[in-house]
Structure formats: structure tokens, C-alpha cells
């Protein structure tokens, strides 16, 4: 199973930049999308079904043009879970999960801490989401959580760790939370197989950051420890340009 995670920063804008043609050629089984910034009724869903993604699920924020996640699949899941049942998370459309017989895949868009109020909300979300996943894993052990975590885990994951040490996304307690979250029983599939520095998944639109590769690795495909031996490959597709993020890939032998 080939799974891609991609924060498209607006699905309608990405489509205008060639997203559908790229997706057709990606040969992925499942793609988790974040920051869709649209409702399903604002999209031509036949664009996805015509290229093989007959099963596509959309979970939008209540606020128009904001946040939202989706999952597109070539295979029919046995169950679809919209949200977490935690009202404030679901209001912003940040979690969507599909279950197959052997594996469950979640699309996650964790909040960013763009100001003091949102940083406080981010910490609340992080705490409650960790508790939610801890309980979820009791019944769903084979879980892959794909998405934009808005956190760089280690110094290798950010272009300037010293200057950014006081910036949300690389704060010590955010990094500590991500460590604790993975200690629930998850593997960073990219770092399991790739130790090279200077590989990022997001670049600011400011100061020519992408051309200069001044990026952050804040997108992850976290794979349950129970699937450790099933991880075949993991990669960052940093030459794909529909968004300020790029797609990330994990392939599992199931």
C-alpha cells in the first residue's frame, strides 16, 4: 500500500496548478490531504473518481475556506470516522480516518501557533489528541497517522535550529510532545529509512525560502510499531510544487 500525505494549502488552488494530473501519475493507493479550504459541494468530485479514487471523503471546517482534511482511496474502506468526537477539534475539520481490514489511515492537520491565542489552543489540541490516540490504539493497533503536525522534531528537521528555537513549530515543549506522542507506539517512517539532513516538507513563501531550501520538516507519516517490519520505503517529494508544502510518501508491504 502506497500512502501519500500532502498539505495542499487549498485544494481548488492546487487543482489549478496541475494537482489532478500529478495525482493520476502518483500511483498511490491512499492520499491524505490537509488544509483543503473547501467543502465537497464546491468541488467536482468526478475529477478524483475518474482517475481511480472512487472512494473520497471530505471533512471540512465549519468556517468557510479554512482548514479541513480529506482522504482519497482506490480501495473501499470498511469504516469512515469523521472527526474525533471532540467538538473543538471537529469544528475545525482536523481529523479523518478510514479503516481497512489490516490497517487504518488517518489524515491529521494539527493547529499552528501563529499567535499567543492559537499557541495556547495548539497545546490544548496536542494534549487531547494524544489522549484520544492512546485510547484509539487499544482497538486499532495498526494505525498510520499522516499529516501536517506543525512541529519539527529534531534539529536535523529544520534549516536553522538555533534561530528558530523560540518559534512555534520548534519550541522545546512542542518537540517534547512529539517525542511523547511517538512513544505511544509510532515510528517516524521517513527517519527510519533516511538520515540525511536538509530534507524538508514546508517552506515559507517569504524570502525565497524554497529556492534556498530554508525549510522545515513538519509533515509526517507516523506508522504504528506493529507495522515496523512492513515499512518498505519512505520519501519526500520536494520537487512537487502545488503548495508551500510538498507530498510525503510511505509504502507498506501488507
Residues 6+ away with beta carbon under 8 Å from 82: 57, 59, 90, 96
Q: Kindly tell me the number of DSSP H helices and DSSP E strands found in the chain.
A: 7, 14
Determine the Cα–Cα distance for residues 134 and 186; give it in Å rounded to an integer: 11
Residue 149's nearest CA partner among 29, 4, 5 is 5
Q: Please, which residues have CB within 8 angstroms of residue 243's CB and are 6 or more apart in sequence?
A: 6, 7, 8, 9, 10, 14
Contact present, 11 and 41 (Cβ < 8 Å) = no
**Does the structural domain 2-252 have CATH classification 3.60.10.10?**
yes
The predicted pLDDT at position 249 comes to: 98
Furthest C-alpha separation in the chain: 47
Backbone angles phi, psi at 188, to 5 degrees: -75, 100
**For residue 144, what pLDDT is reported?**
98
Q: What is the grid cell recorded at 204?
A: 515559507
The one catalytic residue among 44, 87, 99, 148: 148
Collect the ranges in the chain with pLDDT lower than 70: none
> Residues near 201 by Cβ (< 8 Å), separated by ≥ 6?
215, 216, 217, 218, 219, 236, 238, 245, 246, 248
Active site residue 188: no
- Write the pLDDT tens digit of every residue in 72-131: 999 999 999 999 999 999 999 999 999 999 999 999 999 999 999 999 999 999 999 999
In percent, the amount of the chain with pLDDT more than 90 equals 100
* pLDDT (0 to 100) of residue 99: 98
User: What DSSP state is assigned to residue 77?
Assistant: -
Residue 47 has a pLDDT of 98
User: What is the Cα Rg of the chain in Å?
Assistant: 17
Q: Quick check: 36 and 11 in contact, CB under 8 A?
A: yes
Amino acid at each position: 500500500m502506497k500512502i501519500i500525505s500532502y498539505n495542499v494549502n487549498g485544494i481548488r488552488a492546487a487543482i489549478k496548478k496541475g494537482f489532478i494530473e500529478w495525482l493520476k501519475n502518483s500511483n498511490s493507493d491512499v492520499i491524505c490531504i490537509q488544509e483543503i479550504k473547501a467543502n465537497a459541494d464546491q468541488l467536482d468530485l468526478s475529477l478524483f473518481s475518474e482517475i481511480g479514487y472512487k472512494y473520497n471523503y471530505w471533512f471540512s471546517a465549519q468556517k468557510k475556506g479554512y482548514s479541513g482534511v480529506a482522504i482519497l482511496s482506490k480501495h473501499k474502506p470498511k469504516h469512515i470516522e469523521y472527526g474525533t468526537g471532540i467538538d473543538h477539534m471537529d469544528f475545525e475539520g482536523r481529523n479523518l480516518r478510514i479503516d481497512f481490514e489490516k490497517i487504518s489511515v488517518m489524515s491529521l492537520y494539527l493547529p499552528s501557533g501563529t499567535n499567543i491565542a492559537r499557541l495556547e489552543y495548539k497545546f490544548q489540541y496536542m494534549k487531547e489528541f494524544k489522549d484520544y490516540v492512546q485510547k484509539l490504539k487499544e482497538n486499532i493497533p495498526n494505525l498510520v497517522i499522516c499529516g501536517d503536525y506543525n512541529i519539527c522534531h529534531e534539529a536535523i528537521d529544520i534549516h536553522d535550529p538555533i534561530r528558530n528555537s523560540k518559534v512555534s513549530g520548534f519550541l522545546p515543549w512542542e518537540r517534547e510532545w512529539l517525542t511523547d506522542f511517538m512513544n505511544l507506539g509510532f515510528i517516524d517512517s521517513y527517519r527510519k529509512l533516511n538520515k540525511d539532513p536538509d530534507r524538508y516538507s514546508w517552506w515559507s513563501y517569504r524570502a525565497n525560502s524554497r529556492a534556498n531550501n530554508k525549510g522545515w520538516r513538519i509533515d509526517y507519516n507516523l506508522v504504528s510499531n506493529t507495522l515496523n517490519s512492513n515499512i518498505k520505503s519512505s520519501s519526500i517529494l520536494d520537487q512537487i510544487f502545488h503548495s508551500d508544502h510538498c507530498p510525503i510518501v510511505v509504502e507498506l508491504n501488507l
